[in-house]
Structures are given as structure tokens and as C-alpha cells.
């Protein structure tokens, strides 16, 4: 009898995409689900490198016991030497991923034979997952972690490529049309220029690009598509179009954040010294600068940014890895030691929540933008790759809570202009007001009766009833 009851308890297979910052928010969602559905067990499949980061101390202390990590191969042959091109490792992994995951799953399912596979929860980039779910007769739940607008761009890949081909034929060698041609015929993307669209939408030999091009054909298949976003922040045309394409669309909020935001800790508990330093600055006076863990401006742009900060006299807190710090102008750190602080890492969400922060200079990674929005901080955006340009366009033209740096790259004059615009100009005050309004919308949506909580409950019911 015990065996029968045990087999009725669910076993959910979770497949992670081990690059960028994808696996972390997926695990955050799974942790929330595991706490809400304690009788369900979750097997988390990911590469050893990524799992080691996610499940090591002290992070592992908050992970429920009904989640167990399993390592799968990264696909890189034993004697292969990577060139350093970030897409190379992604392509190698995706080429082998269907078989890599299948092999890992077969072993785990055999080990946990007393439990039936009740569903698959997978990263949105793993488009082959539906076939694995089908082999178990199990529902498939896809999690889309980037902005919803980027999902729409991938859904309409064929149409966007057609528009580009027609414009290229009409304009010849002149490609200025990319900066001006808007995608007005695509629901929700009417403010996007062709130049904003991720490179991965356009034809390429890359396996990654070819994988994403299948999204429009594959994503109507899942039982549910889960968005790392709040429905209230979507435009009506976008949300209506996406809902028409999926069987169930759920918005569970920003997975990289725990909302409502907790009060800042005592400043002396911050070992980086950032909060204590911020305590000494005036309210709304500091420029916080960070480009995440992957993006790095080229040396000439780092120099331009540093020179602009020094000339402006504006207090700044700059999170900059030590190996990049050496590219700053000679003597910059010493000359500005009373004006600013350069650290190898900063507790970003706590920094953005400090009263002295006046703006955020960011690479437009969606998690960084979400943290800025949740804290009501306007942004200066320097997009680098992937969905950064679309995110920057949203910040500037849709939400009105920041600007894309002039010309898309850092120049001394462009940085000085943007700093003055946000910190001293009337337009900057309007951006700050809009940022505060969005903060209130996000806080309400994340509240006990908010839409994100309701959609999460729907997701819990879905995995619990299967």
C-alpha cells in the first residue's frame, strides 16, 4: 500500500540552461514550488559547473529537501580547447543537449522508480524538451526568463527576417534603416527598431540561433508558459497576442527578487563597505555602476566613463572586477578616492535600495533592470548583446525611466550629458517619478492579492493536481 501512495506523489524533472544567469532564477522558482508542494520531489538537471555554484554553501541552506541536483555533461569533448567565444560553449552544449538530458533523466528515473514523472519544468531555450515530456506522457511547463518582448521577437522571427530582406533590397548598402525601421505590424513591438532586435533573431550558422528560431513553432505546445515578469508591466497588445498563442500564460513576477523588499540591513554588517560609504552621501546623489558578471565595456569606453565621472564630480559607487579595474586611467582610483568607491562586487539590490542612489548605469541585463525598477531607480543604459537593446528601448521609450547612452556606446561627452539629464534636469525628475510609479505597481502586483501571487497559485495547483 505504501508503494502505491508513493507512486502517486509527483516527480518533476527540471531542465536548466546553464549559461548567463538562467539557472539561478529557474532554481528560485523551483524552490518556491517545492515549499508550496512539499509532497512533490524535484530533480534539477544542470551542468556540474552551474550546479556547484547554485548548490554550494551558503546558498544551499535555503533549498528545500525535496529538490535534488543532478549533473549532466556540458557536451565539450575531453581534449577540446574552447576559443573564448561565448557562443561556442552554448552551441556545443545545445548540439548534444537532447541526448545529454535524456541520459541523465533515464538514470534518475530508474533510481526513483517509486515515483512517476508528473511533469517537466524547463528553461524556455530548451525547445526539445517537449519531446522528452511526451515520452513520459507528462505535461510540459516552459519558463521564459528574459523580457516578454524578446519572446515575441523570437515568435515572429520569420516575419522579422522577411521585413529585413525587403528593407535591405530597397536600401542597398545603406543600413541606416535599421535604426529607424519600426516593427509596427507586430503586436507589442511597435516601438522596437530593427536595430533593437537581438542578433539571435537573424540568420546564422549558430546552433543557438537556429534553436531559438524554433520557438514560434514549439511554444504553443506546453501546458503552460511561465513568465519572469509582472503582467501589469506588459502592454495590452503584447499580452493579448501572447495569450492567444499559448494554452496558459502565467506571470509569477521577478524571480531574481524577493518582494516586498526587505529593509536594508545594518550598514556595518556589509563586509564590502558599500552601505557604510553610501550612508555618508547625500540623498539621490550617487551614480551606481555595474555591468553584471558577463558584459564588459571595451577599454576605450571604460576610460571615457571614468573621465566623465571624474570631471562631473558626482559621487559614484562602481562595482568592477579586479581584472578589469587595471584598465582604468592611471591614478583614477587614487584621484577620486574622496568622490567615489570602486569595489570588486557590491550587494546590488541593497545598494539600489539605499536612499543616496540617484541613478544606475547598467548593461540592461533584465535582472539588473528588474532590481532597478523594484527600487524606483532611473537608469543610464549601455546595451551590449542579446536582449539588452530591447530592454534599453523599454527603459527609455516605453517605461520612460531612463536613457540609452548617446550613440549606444560610452563617450565622455555622452556620459556627462546623461548624468546631468537624470540628476539635474527636469526630464530626469520625470523619469524618477515614473520609476517610483512602476515601483508601486510592482509592489502591489507582488502583494498577497496581486496578480503574480494568483498566477503562482495556479502554477502550484497545476503541478500538484497532475
Higher-confidence residue of 214 and 172: namely 214
Return the H-helix or E-strand segment holding 325. helix 322-325
Residue 291 has pLDDT above 90, yes or no: yes
Beta bridge partners, 230, equal: none
Domains 2-145+219-258+449-465 and 267-444 share a fold: yes
% pLDDT > 70, the chain? 98
User: Cis peptide leading into 58, omega within 30 of 0?
Assistant: yes
DSSP letter for 395, please. Answer: I
| Amino acid 175: pLDDT | 84
Burial class of residue 253, CB neighbours in 10 A (0-12, 13-18, 19+): buried
Burial class of residue 283, CB neighbours in 10 A (0-12, 13-18, 19+): exposed
Average pLDDT, the chain: 93
- Topology of the domain covering 2-145+219-258+449-465: Rossmann fold (3.40.50)
Taking domain 267-444, whether its CATH number is 3.40.50.2000 is answered by yes
Mean pLDDT, range 150-166, rounded to an integer: 95
| Amino acid 8: pLDDT | 58
Q: Is pTM beyond 0.85 here?
A: yes
Catalytic residue, from 11, 74, 91, 123: name it. Answer: 123
> Is 22 assigned a catalytic role?
yes
Within 37-156, where are the H helices? Answer: 48-55, 86-111, 129-136, 148-155
Higher-confidence residue of 159 and 87: namely 159
- Using one digit for the tens of pLDDT, what is the confidence trace for 224-276? 999 999 999 988 999 999 999 999 999 999 998 888 788 898 988 899 999 99
Return the H-helix or E-strand segment holding 10. strand 10-15
Distance of CA 259 to the CA centre of its chain: 17
CB of 329 closer than 8 Å to CB of 352: no
Residue 219 has pLDDT above 90, yes or no: no
Residue 453 has pLDDT above 70, yes or no: yes
Burial class of residue 278, CB neighbours in 10 A (0-12, 13-18, 19+): buried
> Is 363 assigned a catalytic role?
no
Decide: helix, strand or coil at residue 233: helix
| Amino acid 235: pLDDT | 87
Taking the domains of the chain in order of start, what are their residue ranges?
A: 2-145+219-258+449-465, 267-444
What grid cell was written down for 120? 517537466
| Sheet bearing 140-144, strands edge to edge | 67-72, 41-47, 10-15, 116-123, 140-144, 224-227, 249-251
Q: Which residue has the cell 519572446?
A: 151
Catalytic residue, from 22, 251, 354, 388: name it. Answer: 22
What number of other Cβ atoms are within 10 A of residue 304's Cβ?
Answer: 21
Amino acid at each position: 500500500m505504501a508503494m502505491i501512495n508513493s507512486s502517486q506523489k509527483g516527480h518533476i524533472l527540471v531542465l536548466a540552461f546553464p549559461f548567463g544567469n538562467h539557472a539561478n532564477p529557474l532554481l528560485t522558482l523551483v524552490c518556491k514550488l517545492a515549499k508550496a508542494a512539499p509532497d512533490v520531489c524535484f530533480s534539477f538537471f544542470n551542468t556540474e559547473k552551474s550546479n556547484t555554484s547554485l548548490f554550494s554553501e551558503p546558498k544551499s541552506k535555503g533549498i528545500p529537501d525535496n529538490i535534488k541536483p543532478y549533473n549532466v555533461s556540458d557536451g565539450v569533448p575531453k581534449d577540446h580547447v574552447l576559443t573564448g567565444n561565448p557562443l561556442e560553449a552554448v552551441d556545443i552544449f545545445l548540439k548534444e543537449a537532447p541526448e545529454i538530458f535524456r541520459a541523465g533523466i533515464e538514470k534518475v528515473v530508474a533510481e526513483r522508480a517509486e515515483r512517476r514523472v508528473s511533469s517537466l519544468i524547463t528553461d524556455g531555450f530548451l525547445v526539445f524538451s517537449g519531446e522528452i515530456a511526451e515520452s513520459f506522457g507528462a505535461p510540459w511547463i516552459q519558463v521564459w526568463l528574459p523580457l516578454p518582448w524578446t519572446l515575441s521577437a523570437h515568435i515572429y522571427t520569420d516575419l522579422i527576417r522577411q521585413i529585413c530582406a525587403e528593407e535591405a533590397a530597397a536600401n542597398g548598402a545603406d543600413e541606416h534603416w535599421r535604426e529607424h525601421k519600426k516593427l509596427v505590424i507586430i503586436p507589442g513591438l511597435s516601438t522596437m527598431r530593427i536595430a533593437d532586435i537581438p542578433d539571435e533573431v537573424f540568420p546564422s550558422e549558430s546552433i543557438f540561433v537556429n534553436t531559438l528560431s524554433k520557438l514560434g513553432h514549439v511554444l504553443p505546445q506546453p501546458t503552460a508558459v511561465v513568465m519572469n515578469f509582472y503582467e501589469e508591466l506588459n502592454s495590452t497588445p503584447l499580452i493579448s497576442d501572447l495569450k492567444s498563442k499559448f494554452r496558459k500564460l502565467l506571470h509569477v513576477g521577478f524571480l531574481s527578487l524577493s518582494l516586498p523588499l526587505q529593509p536594508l540591513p545594518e550598514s556595518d554588517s556589509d563586509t564590502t563597505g558599500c552601505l557604510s560609504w553610501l550612508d555618508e552621501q547625500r540623498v539621490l546623489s550617487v551614480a551606481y555602476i555595474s555591468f553584471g558578471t558577463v558584459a564588459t565595456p571595451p577599454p576605450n569606453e571604460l576610460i571615457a566613463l571614468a573621465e566623465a565621472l571624474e570631471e562631473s564630480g558626482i559621487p559614484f559607487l562602481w562595482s568592477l572586477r579586479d581584472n578589469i579595474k587595471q584598465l582604468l586611467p592611471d591614478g583614477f582610483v587614487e584621484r577620486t578616492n574622496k568622490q567615489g568607491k570602486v569595489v570588486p562586487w557590491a550587494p546590488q539590490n541593497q545598494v539600489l535600495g539605499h536612499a543616496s542612489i540617484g541613478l544606475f548605469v547598467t548593461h540592461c541585463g533584465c535582472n539588473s533592470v528588474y532590481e532597478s525598477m523594484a527600487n524606483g531607480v532611473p537608469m543610464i543604459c549601455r546595451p551590449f548583446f542579446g536582449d539588452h537593446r530591447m530592454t534599453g528601448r523599454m527603459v527609455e521609450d516605453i517605461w520612460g525611466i531612463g536613457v540609452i547612452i548617446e550613440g549606444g556606446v560610452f563617450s565622455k561627452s555622452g556620459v556627462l550629458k546623461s548624468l546631468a539629464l537624470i540628476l539635474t534636469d527636469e526630464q530626469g525628475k520625470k523619469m524618477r517619478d515614473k520609476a517610483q510609479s512602476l515601483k508601486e505597481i510592482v509592489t502591489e502586483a507582488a502583494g498577497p492579492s496581486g496578480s503574480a501571487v494568483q498566477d503562482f497559485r495556479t502554477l502550484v495547483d497545476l503541478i500538484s493536481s497532475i
